[in-house]
């Protein structure tokens, strides 16, 4: 095995904030591929709930890979993985399969056999909802396994774990925080002064969000902003997908590059609060508005900014 292959064996577990916008997930996928993907990895397991951004992460990791569960409803038939021998010399090197989708058409045992045959033939297979197919895989775990929830967890399983079911349980519990945070973030944008809304950038903290502003400090009354967002949450406004660049919150169509990563109504956002001061980041040279959702830890104060990411 090459030196780079041996180096990857030393990797066990890494954690990233899970971005909410499309471009940021593409960029993180590219970084994960550069840092952790080895040429020797044949089975890539992707785990996460619907709307968590799995497909966008895959597109970032594998530019040009044709996904068989296209978001526009165009599904490739016959499934290339099940038709490996028909292409002759021109068969694909990398296959994609969404197990949750394909299970409606093909038995699990057939899908597992096709995955294992592709690997034996030197192909790479990227498997969404890998936790669903693993019990049929003769204990063949993924070479690289990625869970997408409130955080993106990158692991290199061994005989000693983690198992796909363990990673699924972890990300399934946490995705609710990401959806709540994204909804609260978009509500804050809606109620920002137009000038500040147009220049706001998005960043991440654990169980929350940051709105970043270059140049001058935003002209925002944080108490008033928090009250407006809290009122919208209490109104339990319905939230629905419009297209890949917009989400509908109540009667408002709002620009959004992660329109699937929301709770179904504003009332499902729990314990929203803002940091009651605008923070200056001397490294990035920008001003930050910070918000959090979900239950705090112990006697957490929203003003204790130094331990936000230690919960």
CA atoms lying within 13 Å on the CB side of residue 203: 14
Show the domain range for 275: 176-310
pLDDT bracket for residue 194 (50, 70, 90): very high
Q: Are residues 180 and 245 in the same domain?
A: yes
Mean per-residue pLDDT, 167-191 = 95
Q: Are residues 210 and 128 in the same domain?
A: no
Q: Which one, of 255, 244, 262, 251, lies nearest residue 182 by Cα?
A: 262
Q: Are residues 150 and 199 in the same domain?
A: no
Q: Are residues 93 and 53 in the same domain?
A: yes
Q: Are residues 190 and 251 in the same domain?
A: yes
Enter the pTM of the model. 0.84
**Does residue 167 form part of some domain?**
no
CA–CA distance from 148 to each of 48, 69, 107, 187, 261 (Å)?
5, 17, 25, 23, 12
| CATH label of the domain that carries residue 215 | 3.30.980.10
Q: pLDDT (tens digit, 9 = 90+) per residue, 110-129? A: 999 999 999 999 999 999 99
Mean per-residue pLDDT, 46-50 = 93
The pLDDT of residue 51 is 84
The pLDDT of residue 302 is 52
Mean per-residue pLDDT, 274-301 = 84
**Does residue 170 form part of some domain?**
no
- Rounded to whole angstroms, the Cα distance separating 208 from 210 reads 7
- The number of beta carbons lying within 10 Å of the beta carbon of residue 270 is 14
- Rounded to whole angstroms, the Cα distance separating 1 from 6 reads 7
Q: Are residues 125 and 189 in the same domain?
A: no
Six token digits for residue 149: 């929830």
**Structural domains of the chain, count:** 2
**Does residue 169 form part of some domain?**
no
Q: Which of 134, 162, 190 is the last residue of a domain?
A: 162
Is residue 73's pLDDT more than 80? no
Q: Are residues 19 and 110 in the same domain?
A: yes
């Amino acid at each position: 095995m090459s030196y780079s292959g041996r180096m990857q064996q030393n990797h066990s577990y890494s954690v990233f904030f899970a971005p909410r916008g499309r471009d940021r997930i593409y960029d993180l996928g590219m970084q994960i591929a550069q840092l952790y993907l080895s040429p020797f990895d044949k089975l890539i397991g992707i785990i996460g709930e619907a709307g968590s951004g799995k497909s966008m992460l895959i597109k970032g990791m594998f530019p040009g890979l044709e996904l068989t569960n296209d978001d526009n409803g165009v599904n490739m038939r016959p499934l290339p993985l099940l038709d490996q021998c028909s292409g002759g010399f021109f068969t694909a090197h990398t296959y994609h399969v969404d197990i949750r989708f394909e299970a409606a058409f093909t038995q699990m045992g057939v899908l597992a056999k096709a995955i294992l045959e592709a690997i034996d033939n030197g192909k790479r297979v990227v498997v969404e909802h890998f936790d669903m197919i693993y019990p049929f895989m003769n204990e063949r775990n993924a070479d690289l396994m990625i869970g997408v929830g409130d955080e993106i967890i990158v692991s290199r399983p061994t005989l000693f774990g983690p198992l796909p079911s363990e990673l699924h349980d972890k990300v399934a519990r946490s995705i609710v925080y990401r959806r709540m945070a994204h909804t609260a973030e978009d509500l804050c944008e809606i109620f920002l002064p137009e000038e500040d809304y147009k220049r706001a950038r998005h960043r991440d903290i654990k169980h929350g969000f940051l709105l970043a502003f270059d140049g001058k400090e935003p002209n925002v009354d944080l108490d008033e902003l928090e009250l407006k967002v809290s009122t919208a949450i209490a109104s339990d406004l319905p939230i629905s997908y419009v297209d890949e660049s917009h989400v509908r919150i109540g009667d408002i169509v709002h620009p959004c590059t992660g329109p699937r990563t929301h709770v179904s109504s504003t009332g499902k956002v729990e314990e929203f609060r803002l940091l009651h001061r605008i923070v200056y980041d001397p490294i990035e040279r920008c001003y930050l508005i910070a918000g959090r959702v979900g239950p705090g830890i112990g006697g957490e104060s929203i003003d204790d900014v130094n331990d936000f990411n230690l919960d």
